[in-house]
Structure 1
Amino acid sequence: MTDSRVSCANSAGAAMIGVSDFDGILRGKHVLRENLSGGDKVIKFSEAVLAWDCSDRVIPVHFTQKPLSAFGDADLRILSSTGRSVSYVGDHYLYLAEFMGAHETVCPRGILRRVLRRAAHHGYDCTAGFEFEFMLFKENADTIEDKPFDEWAPFTRGPFGYSIARSLAHQDLFGEILSLCEKSRIPLSGLHFETGPGVIEASLHHCDALEAADRAIMFKSMIKAWAQTRGMMATFMAKVSEKWPGQSGHIHISVSSDGQNAFYDGDASRNVSKLMTQFIAGQLKYMNDFCVLAVPNVNSYKRLVPGCWAPICPSWGVDNRSCAVRVIPGGPSAHRLEYRLPGADVNPYLALASSIGAGMLGIETNAALPASTVGDAGAEICLPSGRLPQSLSEATYRFAQSPAAIDVFGERFVEAFSCSRRWEWEAVQHRVTDFERRRYFEII
């Protein structure tokens, strides 16, 4: 951290600390910034945030010996190196944190660190960069409660992907996003309108894998807060409407050894090294078992349908966007893969952990890579590789029963996260929707 950043971070005033829950929501509070100087700090923080669902209802997880109604405090490490300004105006600082001690085994950031340690044990460093699509609505928290969904007004009408005209027309908005990201040390390598009403895609610049996930989780919270200051709402839902494409959360990944891109082999076909074939083979082999970490909500599975630029089966291809894993050939500095399974609703720590964890299993077992897909990976000919899980319930069952998941992520986390996803599934299943009323009320 530069001297100017240290000075800024240690100046008088308040700062926020945030820690990820299972859903990738930053939970935290304001503290005095002066108490955060001089390196990482350990404070007490409620363990309840690891037992809340997204609506603050208690999930019956089993990481504590206390009754579910009597959650205590846990040790929380505040990470001084993560502090950065997170607002377009003013100087509001946010520091990330992670659970320690007994809670580290169920902390999402701790799970990613566990996977990265496994890679480091074999001499590999991982680099990653997230891409997020999010949708803006000209609504606020009150109007979305007062109006039915079909009356919500998206920021732009209709699809117009990569539109220069729209980008120029809304250059003030794009300028604010770019300024916000620059100020917060979350550099973007791309920003553009995507297909779909009010949809914008932001490509976060690649960096060390743990830092990439830190940037990703901060970015999502910043964009939501920034949109509200403009009188709008931003959503990272995987599928906002069946009428529109889903919103992705693709991850670009490369692996290096001794400072060299281990995925790159200049003498191999399309520069794909033997290590890269093993890594992708592991991703495909364990994609169904680990799916719930990258596709974590009931709504997430409504994105994984044919014809919507989202994978429906474990598949890979060279520069093929219909596949779950897309190889992007290039020179040593650019050769990488794109993991296209996750939607924008992911917890960045867990989605990245699932992708790298499966890849490391492929390397460790010298997994064989099946033939690449040429053409549409959603076509019927590709389905012998196995459809991806069709629901959160199916994906959760596979994860909970997977010896590979326990090996990579630990038994305690697999149990706790599986419990949280079963809870999420049941919470939605008991709801009667407007669609059901329209479909069945008079006829059935």
Structure 2
Amino acid sequence: MSDYISEWLREHRITEVECIVPDMTGVARGKIIPKDKFLSEPDMRLPEAVLIQTVTGDYPDDCYLDLTDPDMVLRPDPTSLRFVPWATDPTAQLIYDCYRSDGSPVETSPRSVLRRVLELYSARGWEPVLAPEMEFYLLSPNPDPDIPVQPPVGRTGRAEFGRRSYSIDAVNEFDPVFEDIYDYCHAQNLEVDTLIHEVGTAQMEINFEHGDPLALADQVFLFKRTVREAAFRHNMYATFMAKPMEGEPGSAMHMHQSIIDKHTGRNLFSNEDGSPSQAFFHFIGGLQKYLPETMPFFAPYVNSYRRLTPNVAAPTNVEWGYDNRTVGLRVPHSSPAGRRVENRVPGVDVNPYIAMAASLACGYLGLVNSIDPRDPVASNAYDVPTEFPHGTEEALVRLTHCKEIAAVLGERFVELFIGMKQKEFAEYFRVISPWERKFLLLHV
């Protein structure tokens, strides 16, 4: 046990510890353990199958699983130690890393997948820098999933209506919720920055400070829990579903990415004279080539593809351009030191570890293989044909054939991820929707 963890728990009079493992869907799995038991037995054991549950709690077919169902050895990461600010009793939370009995990382752990990619960058003297932007909706409570969701009632006693993008007053409608969100984030050292009202009705966006991808993936993972808990406290729901409301824009997790040369501290995307470097163009080229083949990592659910439709503030291709919000890969105005590429493709429903790993993997392949991008687009990119799969089935087929990405992320991880998503889609396909009952039941 780390002395730092022991002293921190004693100093803050912690009584319980939430021992958390992020699974492939981004759900927090694990155990809640009394502090004294945690101090005497900090390592934890869980079966690997915990990591590959579908969002409904089922498992891939047996052909994807080790039928002996072995335990993983789980060890806490001291850097992830934080308060659980909404807990009634003093409670801490720790994110665990997953290992096999021989000490090797578990390939299916999302944290291991991101670490694997970061190690590839590090071996070449590169250090990725990332900054996520999180969009989400506030909703009225929706205990019956057969009823469409509605916007919540604000402090004026009225539900929000219409489009109120960037409205200060619209954000102030929900001040009590956001005060709790900021307090909870501060208590957990989540480095959130700007808050804005997005295009949709009661749709918000919070941006994070740029930094280390693994640390930020942890923060995004915890932020989702935080926002949901704060909303519950005020009799609301908060959702990170990609497209929760019919007729409203979807929610994204945009990722601003750059790379630092570890030896010089210089942004690899800029030459010494301030012009864009070949590395900058090759990174974009890798994203253009591989993003359409890896969409299950950026659009993981059947609902995700409802967001990726033209003219609703979501990209439909991987064109790139300077300060162009209609493309999938936007290059914001910046100084040479701040030159970066914004990946606008991922929905906010992604697993942050996997989405960050996959996006950096695409760029990495562009860098090491010197992949040139197409010319930048200065017009409306919605006029360009779509490059993405039309749904989950097609996306999984394309990912199955993308061997280069599997080599970077890990073949076993990709195989099990595909198996999990195939099981999830099969479960979805069994459900008869309200649309089918409405239009087909008595009319065909």
TM-score (norm 1): 0.90
1:51 matched to which residue of 2? 52
Task: Provide the aligned length of Structure 1 versus Structure 2.
Answer: 429
Gaps of 5+ in 2: none
Tell me the CA shift for residue 73 of structure 1: 2.4
- Give the distance between the partners of 1:12 and 1:150, measured in 2 at CA: 38
| Residue 163 of structure 1 pairs with residue 167 of structure 2 | yes
- Give the distance between the partners of 2:360 and 2:36, measured in 1 at CA: 37
2:437 matched to which residue of 1? 437
1:393 matched to which residue of 2? 393
* 11-20 or 411-420, which deviates more: 11-20
Letter in 2 for 1:443: H
1:99 matched to which residue of 2? 98
- Give the distance between the partners of 2:398 and 2:196, measured in 1 at CA: 37
Tell me the CA shift for residue 62 of structure 1: 4.9
Match of 1:280, SS state, is helix
Tell me the CA shift for residue 103 of structure 1: 6.3
Identical-residue share of aligned pairs (%): 28
Match of 1:272, SS state, is coil
Tell me the CA shift for residue 5 of structure 1: 8.7
Letter in 2 for 1:343: G
* 112-121 or 94-103, which deviates more: 94-103
- Give the distance between the partners of 1:306 and 1:207, measured in 2 at CA: 31
Tell me the CA shift for residue 277 of structure 1: 0.7
* 19-28 or 145-154, which deviates more: 145-154
Letter in 2 for 1:128: L
Tell me the CA shift for residue 154 of structure 1: 6.5
1:116 matched to which residue of 2? 118
Task: Confirm or deny: 8 A CA contact 1:298 1:424 kept in the other structure.
Answer: no
Task: Confirm or deny: 8 A CA contact 1:260 1:332 kept in the other structure.
Answer: no
Change (3 A) 1:361 1:188: same
Letter in 2 for 1:73: D
- Give the distance between the partners of 1:341 and 1:400, measured in 2 at CA: 20
Q: Deviations over 1:100-126 (max 9, x none)?
A: 126611111111111111111111001
Change (3 A) 1:234 1:264: same
| Residue 263 of structure 1 pairs with residue 269 of structure 2 | yes
Match of 1:423, SS state, is helix
Change (3 A) 1:288 1:218: same
1:127 matched to which residue of 2? 129
| Residue 233 of structure 1 pairs with residue 237 of structure 2 | yes
Alignment of 1:192-203 (within 5 A): 192-203=196-207
Change (3 A) 1:234 1:391: same
| Residue 304 of structure 1 pairs with residue 303 of structure 2 | no
Task: Confirm or deny: 8 A CA contact 1:317 1:374 kept in the other structure.
Answer: yes
- Give the distance between the partners of 1:246 and 1:63, measured in 2 at CA: 32
- Give the distance between the partners of 1:56 and 1:359, measured in 2 at CA: 33
Task: Confirm or deny: 8 A CA contact 2:59 2:420 kept in the other structure.
Answer: no
Of the three residues 206, 216, 219, the one matched with 1:215 is 219
Of the three residues 16, 19, 32, the one matched with 1:14 is 16
Tell me the CA shift for residue 82 of structure 1: 0.4
Change (3 A) 1:346 1:72: same
| Residue 80 of structure 1 pairs with residue 50 of structure 2 | no
Change (3 A) 1:387 1:61: farther
1:425 matched to which residue of 2? 425
| Residue 177 of structure 1 pairs with residue 177 of structure 2 | no
Q: Deviations over 1:401-442 (max 9, x none)?
A: 111122111211111011111112211122110011112223
Match of 1:134, SS state, is strand
Task: Confirm or deny: 8 A CA contact 1:295 1:346 kept in the other structure.
Answer: yes
Tell me the CA shift for residue 370 of structure 1: 0.9
Tell me the CA shift for residue 288 of structure 1: 1.4
Tell me the CA shift for residue 21 of structure 1: 1.0
| Residue 277 of structure 1 pairs with residue 281 of structure 2 | yes
- Give the distance between the partners of 1:13 and 1:421, measured in 2 at CA: 38
Task: Confirm or deny: 8 A CA contact 1:87 1:226 kept in the other structure.
Answer: no
Tell me the CA shift for residue 147 of structure 1: 6.9
Change (3 A) 1:154 1:195: farther
- Give the distance between the partners of 2:150 and 2:256, measured in 1 at CA: 36
Change (3 A) 1:168 1:333: farther
Tell me the CA shift for residue 342 of structure 1: 0.4
Letter in 2 for 1:48: A
Match of 1:366, SS state, is coil
- Give the distance between the partners of 1:203 and 1:81, measured in 2 at CA: 21
What value does the CA root-mean-square deviation take over the aligned residues?
2.4
Q: Deviations over 1:82-110 (max 9, x none)?
A: 01123246643211112212661111111
Letter in 2 for 1:327: V
- Give the distance between the partners of 1:41 and 1:89, measured in 2 at CA: 21
- Give the distance between the partners of 1:154 and 1:357, measured in 2 at CA: 42
Change (3 A) 1:116 1:154: farther
Task: Confirm or deny: 8 A CA contact 2:44 2:75 kept in the other structure.
Answer: yes
Q: Deviations over 1:23-80 (max 9, x none)?
A: 1111122123356569x9532123231232112122226564326xxx4422112112
Task: Confirm or deny: 8 A CA contact 2:316 2:388 kept in the other structure.
Answer: yes
TM-score (norm 2): 0.90
| Residue 412 of structure 1 pairs with residue 418 of structure 2 | no
Letter in 1 for 2:349: D
- Give the distance between the partners of 1:262 and 1:146, measured in 2 at CA: 48
Task: Confirm or deny: 8 A CA contact 1:315 1:377 kept in the other structure.
Answer: yes
Match of 1:53, SS state, is coil
Letter in 1 for 2:59: V
Change (3 A) 1:358 1:151: closer
Tell me the CA shift for residue 372 of structure 1: 0.5
Gaps of 5+ in 1: none
Change (3 A) 1:358 1:440: same
2:246 matched to which residue of 1? 242
Alignment of 1:337-356 (within 5 A): 337-356=341-360
